[in-house]
C-alpha cells in the first residue's frame, strides 16, 4: 500500500489565546489607530516596537503595514530614488526587486551560490561595475551568507546594507541577530512568516536620521513623539518638514496579536528546526539529491526546506512534482518558465532590465522548495521525507521526454 500525506502545507497554527485576548481588548476599546491613546499611554503598537527593539538589540524600531512596505520605506529613508542602482540577490521573491522598482531605482542582480546565498565575489564585481552604493540583501528562504565577509566587502566599498529578514526573524550569524549587521533590518509578519498578523512589517536601525525619515514616511504626521522606540524628538526638527507622508502605519490590533507571539519565538524556532532536521535526515543520502548545508555560524529558522536535483531535465522534475502532489506533498519549483504562486524568477521581473545570470539560472533550474508549518508533527515530517525518497527514486529511474 502506498502511503499518502493528508496535511495542509499552508495551514498555520492558531493564534495563541493570549493574543486573541489582547486583540479583543483592543476591539472592545475601539482604539485601533496607533495614535489613539491617552496622554502618557503606550499603545500596543508602540509597545511592540519596544519589544522588538529589545529582542534584536536595535536602538530604534518602527512597525508598518507589511514587509514590502518596510523595504521600500528603508530605501526612501536612505535617500534612494529614480535613476539610482540598488544591488540585490538574483534569487529572491518579487517584493524585493519590487521595492527597488517602487522608488524608481534599478535592481542590479547578483549571482547566488549552490548554497542559496549571495555570491560575495560577484557582489564585489557588481559593486565595481555598477557604482551602486546600496545592497538590499535578501536572506532568501532563511539562508544567511557569511555576514562577516559580506560586511567587510561592503564597508570597504562604502556600500550601505539593508537586510531583508522576511525569512530570518529569530535567526542569527555568529550570535548577531539577523537584521543587525547592516544599516537597516526589515522583517515581515505576514501569515507565512515567523509571527503572524496577516500582514505587517518591522524596521530596525541604530541610525537616528534614517529612522526619523522612516517614521515620517510611515505616516506619523507630527505624532513622532509617541514613538518610545524611535529617535529623539530633536532629530525630526528638519526631517519632519522635508519628508513626505506615505501612510503605512501598523495598527494596535495587529500589534496586540503579535506581541505574545514574539514572546514565544525562541520556542517556535526550536520546533521548526526539529521538523526541518526530521525531513533533512529523511532525505540524506538520496541519490542525485543535493541538500543545502547549514554553516555552524548560522542560527537558522527551518520554516521551509530546499533541495536541488542537479542534472534533472524539466520534464522529469515536472513528473516528480505531479507524483508528490498525488500523494499529498506540495513542492514548489523555482525553475519553471512561467511564474507560479510565489516562485517567480528574475527573468519574470519585466520591470527590471534583463541581466545575464548563468550561475543563478543553473541553481534555480533544479531547485525545489517546501514549507514546513508547525501544524505538522515530527512523524508527519518523516512521512513526507519517505514519500519524497520513493518518488525521487521512481522519477529518477525513468527517462524523461523533453
Per-residue DSSP letter, 56: H
State how far the Cα of 161 lies from the Cα of 159, in Å rounded to an integer. Answer: 6
State how far the Cα of 166 lies from the Cα of 78, in Å rounded to an integer. Answer: 20
- Backbone phi, then psi, for 4, in 5-degree steps? -130, 155
State how far the Cα of 95 lies from the Cα of 93, in Å rounded to an integer. Answer: 6
Taking each continuous run of H as one helix and of E as one strand, the counts in the chain are 13, 14
Reference 303, options 381, 367, 388; nearest CA is 381
202-254 residue pLDDT tens: 999 999 999 999 999 999 999 999 999 999 999 999 999 999 999 999 999 99
Write down the mean pLDDT value for the chain. 96
Per-residue DSSP letter, 64: E
Domain chopping of the chain, boundaries: 17-263, 265-397
Sign of CA dihedral 74, 79, 84, 85: negative
Q: What is the pLDDT of residue 402?
A: 46
Where helices occur in 10-113 by DSSP H, the ranges are: 17-29, 44-56, 67-77, 95-102
Q: Taking a C-beta distance cutoff of 8 angstroms, is the pair 245, 221 a contact?
A: yes
Q: What is the pLDDT of residue 267?
A: 98
158-177 residue pLDDT tens: 999 999 999 999 999 999 99
Q: What is the CATH number of domain 17-263?
A: 3.40.640.10
58-96 residue pLDDT tens: 999 999 999 999 999 999 999 999 999 999 999 999 999
Confidence (pTM):
0.96
Q: How many other C-beta atoms lie within 10 A of the C-beta of residue 266? A: 11
Q: Which CATH class is domain 265-397?
A: alpha beta
- 17-263 against 265-397: fold identical: no
Reference 289, options 318, 275, 310, 305; nearest CA is 310
Q: What is the pLDDT of residue 399?
A: 60
For residue 72, the SS3 value is: helix
Amino acid at each position: 500500500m502506498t502511503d499518502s500525506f493528508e496535511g495542509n502545507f499552508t495551514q498555520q497554527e492558531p493564534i495563541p489565546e493570549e493574543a486573541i485576548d489582547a486583540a479583543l481588548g483592543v476591539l472592545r476599546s475601539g482604539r485601533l489607530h496607533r495614535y489613539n491613546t491617552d496622554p502618557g499611554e503606550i499603545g500596543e503598537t508602540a509597545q511592540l516596537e519596544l519589544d522588538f527593539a529589545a529582542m534584536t538589540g536595535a536602538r530604534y524600531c518602527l512597525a508598518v503595514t507589511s514587509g514590502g512596505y518596510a523595504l521600500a520605506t528603508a530605501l526612501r529613508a536612505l535617500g534612494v530614488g529614480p535613476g539610482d542602482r540598488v544591488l540585490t540577490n538574483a534569487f529572491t521573491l518579487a517584493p524585493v526587486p519590487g521595492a527597488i522598482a517602487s522608488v524608481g531605482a534599478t535592481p542590479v542582480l547578483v549571482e547566488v551560490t549552490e548554497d542559496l546565498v549571495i555570491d560575495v565575489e560577484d557582489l564585489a564585481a557588481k559593486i565595481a561595475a555598477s557604482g551602486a552604493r546600496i545592497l538590499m540583501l535578501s536572506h532568501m528562504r532563511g539562508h544567511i551568507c557569511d555576514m562577516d565577509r559580506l560586511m567587510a566587502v561592503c564597508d570597504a566599498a562604502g556600500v550601505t546594507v539593508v537586510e531583508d529578514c522576511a525569512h530570518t526573524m529569530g535567526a542569527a550569524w555568529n550570535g548577531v541577530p539577523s537584521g543587525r549587521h547592516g544599516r537597516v533590518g526589515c522583517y515581515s509578519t505576514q501569515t507565512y512568516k515567523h509571527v503572524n498578523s496577516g500582514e505587517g512589517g518591522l524596521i530596525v536601525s541604530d541610525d537616528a536620521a534614517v529612522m526619523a525619515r522612516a517614521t515620517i514616511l510611515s505616516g506619523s504626521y507630527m505624532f513622532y513623539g509617541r514613538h518610545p522606540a524611535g529617535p529623539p524628538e530633536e532629530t525630526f526638527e528638519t526631517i519632519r518638514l522635508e519628508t513626505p507622508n506615505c501612510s503605512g502605519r501598523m495598527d494596535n490590533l495587529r500589534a496586540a496579536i503579535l506581541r505574545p507571539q514574539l514572546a514565544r519565538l525562541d520556542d517556535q524556532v526550536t520546533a521548526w528546526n526539529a521538523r526541518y532536521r526530521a525531513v533533512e535526515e529523511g532525505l540524506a543520502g538520496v541519490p542525485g539529491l543535493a541538500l543545502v548545508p547549514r554553516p555552524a555560524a548560522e542560527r537558522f529558522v527551518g520554516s521551509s526546506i530546499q533541495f536541488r536535483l542537479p542534472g534533472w531535465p524539466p520534464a522529469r522534475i515536472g513528473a516528480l512534482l505531479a507524483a508528490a502532489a498525488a500523494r499529498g506533498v506540495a513542492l514548489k519549483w523555482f525553475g519553471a518558465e512561467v511564474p507560479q504562486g510565489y516562485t517567480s524568477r528574475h527573468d519574470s521581473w519585466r520591470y527590471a532590465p534583463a541581466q545575464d545570470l548563468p550561475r543563478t539560472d543553473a541553481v534555480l533550474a533544479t531547485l525545489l522548495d517546501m514549507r514546513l508549518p508547525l501544524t505538522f508533527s515530527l512523524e508527519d515530517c518523516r512521512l513526507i521525507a519517505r514519500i519524497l525518497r520513493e518518488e525521487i527514486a521512481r522519477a529518477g529511474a525513468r527517462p524523461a521526454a523533453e
